[in-house]
Structure 1
Amino acid sequence: MTGDRVLKGIGLRLIAIFFLSTMSALIKLAESHGATLSETMFFRQFCALPIVLAFVMAGPGGLRALRTTRLKGHATRAMIGLVGMVFTFGAVILLPLAEATTFQFTVPIFATLLGALVLGERTGLQRWSAVLLGFVGVLIVVRPGANDMSLFGAFVGLMAAMFVAIVAIVLRQLRDEPAGTTVFYFTVLTLPFIAVPYAFHVQGHSAFIWAVLASIGVVGGLAQLALTAASRLAPVTAVVPMDYTGLIWATVYGWAMFGVLPASTTWAGAPLIIASGLFIVWREQRLGKRQTISATAED
């Protein structure tokens, strides 16, 4: 890949992480004004659908790209992704933004564990050491026995990361499908399941909160497009380090919007988790194996 393409890929990944961080802040803002989990999830998918369709129509073949013989695979990916979305949104609601973001950095750790335990992939001492280092970082962030962090929230955050890793493995079976097609079926197939609980939680909001809910979908859709484009322009090892800027954005949003700063233990544990993830990604690339970590971690 040329240097220009890699730089564009890195730039798009940075934009995508900014959008994802903004989406998380909007989710927490909506929840703080009375919006429910089902509402935020519904608007995330419903308002992203026009953006995804526009992306598909602008690509090669237009809407013909939606033809697929892999509907069962898309359905499996959609259901697993739906459960993952519940945990991801739940972590944002239950935890401060910086802590919820930090737990997402454990995705490479879970990807390694699942690859070894479920897929039977060979995992050497170096990567197991990285996994152990990452979980030491998690323990520092969670600080078991302390009263200032919800252990249930920490559990939800870790489950969110685990399901992102599971989705990454499932996406291997759909790697021949266009990215826009995969995102489209994920959006369409999950909407009915989200609409049912949302129907029981429909409520009035101020114009501002309706705008926030709609923005969750728009910003989330733009993040997916930026992630997809970045993965096509640059290798995973080049763009994944950009993901850790999410902690900066989460800190800024947490302070500016909610008056909350990360705990000192978060700053102590996050570097260990980040170092673990970066080493795992680098090791995967060096060994020439298929990437376990999805290039489109959010979707």
Structure 2
Amino acid sequence: MQSVQPTPPRQRPLYALALRLMAALVLSTLFMLVKFTSETGVRFPEILFWRQLPTIVLVLGWLAGRSQLQRLKTRRLPVHARRAMLGLTGMGFTFGAPLLMPLAESTALGFTTPVFAVILSVLLLKERVGPVRWLAVALGFAGVMIIAQPGQEALTPLGAFVGLGAGFMVALISIQVRDLSRTEESLSIVFWFAALSTPILLVALPFFYTPHSTWQWFLLLSGGVLGLVGQLLLTAALRYGQVASVVVMDYSSLVWATLYGWLLWDDMPSAATWLGAPVIIAAGAVIAWREHQLYRRTPPAAASGAE
């Protein structure tokens, strides 16, 4: 029996923007929760484990209740496994960054994803990139230098490395997910990522597990649920709108990160972050605008050959 393929939905740009905006709020809350949970004494590898396990249980339970387990059938398990390994590494960077620096700074460095996406499109997809997007790449890294302030007491080298690593891994994983989306349903991609990465985290669990209070269990399970909801919102937004159009909503997460940092840790972004973050955001917006222009002017198959 072949896997069930979803019918391509009608494009609904405003609905897609709303979904992406909700995803930014949910994921910002998740990053805050990871940082907060770690500070209660839960070890980082265990946080990652409980981020993944509820996804398996909830997706299987929901599909079994609807007699639709066949939606998880796949002929591309090795590709899912490669995506899971990349995703596990990316999750370590993405969740590790807020532990090493304030939420606003880690969020701002995560905005380098579109910049890295341009570089990876050249290296991996052999796309031709013109001066507009190369200028945006240079602008993005200028923003990073402003925030990091090399040679001065700003972010630690490890924190800057992990924050930039998060942006790089998200860009790399996006290319993999785009390839999987040609044949796989969004729910299947989310499920197999969790199903193939959780056993690895389970092996490490005995070395990091400590007894938890009821409050800590609540935080861990809440993180798992928020992670699933965030992933589903992200993938749903891409079903109803273009990547270049919806990605600008991700920048709203800086508002939530700043708010959470202020309320919970009395952290406010430094002057360097206030200067550097808009520069990185501007670079991402230029890249998104250029991608949108290419989509409108050229057929999708030929867009990669344009500027």
TM-score over 0.5 for the pair: yes
Q: CA deviation at 1:228?
A: 1.7
Match of 2:69 in 1: 63
5+ residue gaps in structure 2? 1-8
The structure-2 alpha-carbon separation of the partners of 1:19 and 1:115, relative to structure 1 and needing over 3 Å to count, comes to same
1:100-133 Cα deviation digits (max 9, x unpaired): 1111110010010111123221010111000000
Match of 1:242 in 2: 249
Q: CA deviation at 1:271?
A: 0.8
Aligned with 2:208: secondary structure? coil
1:259-291 Cα deviation digits (max 9, x unpaired): 111111111011111111111122123223579
Matches of 1:211 and 1:177 in 2, distance apart? 32
Moved more, 229-238 or 108-117: 229-238
- Pair 1:81-2:87 in alignment: yes
**AA matched with 1:179:** S
Q: CA deviation at 1:9?
A: 1.7
Instruction: Choose the corresponding residue for 1:267, options 250, 274, 296.
Output: 274
Match of 2:128 in 1: 122
Matches of 2:274 and 2:62 in 1, distance apart? 38
Match of 1:167 in 2: 173
Q: CA deviation at 1:18?
A: 0.7
Matches of 1:264 and 1:31 in 2, distance apart? 27
Matches of 2:265 and 2:131 in 1, distance apart? 42
Aligned with 2:142: secondary structure? helix
Aligned with 1:17: secondary structure? helix
Matches of 2:21 and 2:62 in 1, distance apart? 20
The structure-2 alpha-carbon separation of the partners of 1:58 and 1:268, relative to structure 1 and needing over 3 Å to count, comes to farther
TM-score (norm 2): 0.89
Instruction: Choose the corresponding residue for 2:137, options 111, 131, 138.
Output: 131
Match of 1:210 in 2: 217
Retained in 2: the 8 A contact 1:56–1:180?
A: no
CA root-mean-square deviation:
2.0
Moved more, 18-27 or 230-239: 230-239
1:115-165 Cα deviation digits (max 9, x unpaired): 112322101011100000000000001111122321211101101111111
Matches of 1:274 and 1:41 in 2, distance apart? 28
Instruction: Choose the corresponding residue for 1:47, options 45, 49, 54.
Output: 54
Moved more, 218-227 or 131-140: 218-227
Matches of 2:161 and 2:260 in 1, distance apart? 23
Q: CA deviation at 1:29?
A: 0.4
Match of 2:238 in 1: 231
Matches of 2:122 and 2:65 in 1, distance apart? 39
Retained in 1: the 8 A contact 2:148–2:154?
A: no
**AA matched with 1:272:** V
Match of 1:103 in 2: 109
Retained in 2: the 8 A contact 1:55–1:180?
A: no
1:188-217 Cα deviation digits (max 9, x unpaired): 000011111122111012211111111110
Match of 1:296 in 2: none
Aligned with 1:287: secondary structure? helix
- Pair 1:150-2:163 in alignment: no
Question: Superposed, which structure 2 residues align to 1:192-207 within 5 Å?
Answer: 192-207=199-214
Retained in 1: the 8 A contact 2:37–2:220?
A: yes
Q: CA deviation at 1:171?
A: 2.0
Matches of 2:65 and 2:117 in 1, distance apart? 33
- Pair 1:72-2:40 in alignment: no
Instruction: Choose the corresponding residue for 2:186, options 179, 187, 197.
Output: 179
Matches of 1:125 and 1:148 in 2, distance apart? 32
Aligned with 1:121: secondary structure? coil
Q: CA deviation at 1:56?
A: 4.9
Retained in 2: the 8 A contact 1:105–1:161?
A: yes
TM-score (norm 1): 0.91
5+ residue gaps in structure 1? 293-299
Matches of 1:85 and 1:101 in 2, distance apart? 14
User: Sequence identity, in percent?
Assistant: 44
Question: Superposed, which structure 2 residues align to 1:1-16 within 5 Å?
Answer: 5-16=12-23
Retained in 2: the 8 A contact 1:73–1:173?
A: no
Q: Aligned residues, how many?
A: 290
Retained in 2: the 8 A contact 1:56–1:181?
A: no
